[in-house]
């Protein structure tokens, strides 16, 4: 359960970092981050068509206690919601977010470097 919680926290931090790099304003970042992170967590188990895809959403595994004791899998009638799948989905989401964050940072540093070099001449 601790592994899922640690991965969930890392995914939340990287998601907020990614959204903050896309939207410069604080309130927009807050609103979009809440929408991305909280909406799937609240919708799992309540919106029926979402239950069959719930095992692929990182937000499903934020409630690690319900995942580990299989109560969320029974609620959604989805046997794929388990600890191993949670670690896999959260790891892939974390890796994807890290690649995107480093890509944005690398792109912006190149743009800044190019702009500085062109103004020095």
User: Count of CB atoms within 10 A of residue 37's CB?
Assistant: 18
H helices of the chain, in order, are 2-22, 26-43, 48-51, 64-68, 71-76, 83-120
Note the pLDDT of residue 100. 96
- pLDDT class of 114 with cuts at 50, 70, 90: low
Cα–Cα distance for residue pair 78/110, rounded to 1 Å: 45
**Domain residue extents for the chain:** 2-120
**pLDDT (tens digit per residue) in 48-63:** 888 889 999 999 999 9
Sign of CA dihedral 97, 100, 106, 109: negative
Cα–Cα distance for residue pair 104/31, rounded to 1 Å: 21
**pLDDT (tens digit per residue) in 9-45:** 999 999 999 999 999 889 999 999 999 999 888 888 8
């Amino acid at each position: 359960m601790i592994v899922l919680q640690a991965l969930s926290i890392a995914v939340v931090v990287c998601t907020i970092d990614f959204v903050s790099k896309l939207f410069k304003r604080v309130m927009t970042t807050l609103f979009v981050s809440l929408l991305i992170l909280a909406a799937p967590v609240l919708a799992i188990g309540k919106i029926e068509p979402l239950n069959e895809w719930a095992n692929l959403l990182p937000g499903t595994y934020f409630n690690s206690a319900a995942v580990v004791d299989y109560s969320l899998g029974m609620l959604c009638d989805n046997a794929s919601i388990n600890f191993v799948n949670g670690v896999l989905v959260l790891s892939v989401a974390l890796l994807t977010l890290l690649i995107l964050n480093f890509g944005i940072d690398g792109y912006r540093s190149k743009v800044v470097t190019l702009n500085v070099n062109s103004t020095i001449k």
